[in-house]
């Protein structure tokens, strides 16, 4: 079975399990360890209780400081959760636009590669995951597709999940998030491509990592994670 378990929360549209995904060795990733999601900044009390009962104990917000300040976060001061803010990618929009103008790849493919090359923020996010206390971890950004998708790819790769299954985990995001009224409004004013989750986008990412680092684990080591930190992440999945 491939990651079909989507949590039915009323205020989110892309909250999904990383459990139940087949690995190369024939086992399945563990349930209850990782949830990937679009923003959970405005959960209802009932949804917060549901996440706690599900076993979630750590919340990792991958959004920028500006995004967090704009929306706030209902779980930031909630004593039942270990809330961590670890923004992904620190390059300004202007600098990013200059870099992306000279590439034949799609915008999102280029963006993903820039995030991978920047390294520091991904390293911080993975180290936060590795050191998290017992209990499930929910990590999220705004729509749960790009920043969240890259973290999910790295985690599943460390969990020895097949290339094709990692791509399958990425693809459902667009169909999920387009149910959101907020995303529907954005689709009227912004390029639809910004919200797509085409398989080739994640295939480009994986091709880059395997071409330049031989394996995703080698890339994670290049980020500066120790063997103990990598083992800690693996233990949650395998």
**Residue found under tokens 């390294």:** 119
CB neighbours of residue 83 within 10 Å: 16
* Upper half-sphere CA count for residue 130 (Cβ side, 13 Å): 19
C-beta separation of 136 from 56 below 8 A: yes
Please give the mean pLDDT across all residues of the chain.
92
Give the tens place of pLDDT for each residue, 36-90.
999 999 899 999 999 999 999 999 999 999 999 999 999 999 999 999 999 998 6
Give the tens place of pLDDT for each residue, 11-36.
999 999 999 999 999 999 999 999 99
Phi, psi (deg, nearest 5) at residue 153: -60, -45
Domains of the chain by start residue, with CATH: 16-237 (3.90.190.10)
First to last CA, the chain: 16
Q: Which residues have C-beta within 8 Å of that of residue 56, sequence separation ≥ 6?
A: 35, 81, 135, 136, 137, 138
Tokens of 98: 């200059």
The H or E element spanning position 186 is helix 181-187
Please tell me the distance from the alpha carbon of residue 147 to that of residue 136, in angstroms, as a whole number.
19
């Amino acid at each position: 079975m491939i990651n079909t378990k989507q949590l039915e929360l009323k205020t989110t549209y892309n909250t999904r399990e990383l459990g139940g995904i087949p690995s190369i060795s024939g086992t399945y990733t563990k349930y209850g360890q990782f949830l990937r999601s679009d923003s959970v900044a405005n959960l209802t009390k009932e949804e917060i209780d549901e996440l706690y009962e599900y076993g979630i104990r750590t919340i990792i917000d991958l959004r920028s400081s500006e995004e967090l300040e704009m929306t706030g976060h209902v779980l930031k001061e909630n004593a039942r959760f270990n809330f961590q803010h670890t923004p992904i990618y620190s390059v300004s929009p202007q600098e990013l636009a200059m870099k992306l103008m000279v590439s034949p790849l799609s915008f999102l493919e280029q963006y993903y590669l820039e995030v991978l090359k920047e390294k520091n923020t991904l390293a911080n996010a993975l180290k936060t995951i590795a050191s998290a206390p017992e209990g499930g971890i929910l990590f999220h950004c705004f729509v749960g597709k790009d920043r969240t998708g890259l973290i999910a790819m790295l985690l599943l790769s460390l969990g020895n999940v097949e290339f094709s299954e990692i791509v399958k985990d990425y693809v459902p995001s667009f169909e999920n998030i387009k149910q959101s009224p907020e995303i529907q409004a954005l689709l009227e004013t912004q390029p639809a491509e910004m919200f797509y989750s085409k398989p080739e986008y994640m295939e480009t990412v994986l091709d880059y990592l395997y071409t330049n680092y031989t394996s995703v684990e080698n890339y994670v080591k290049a980020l500066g994670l120790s063997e103990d930190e990598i083992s800690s992440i693996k233990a949650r999945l395998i």
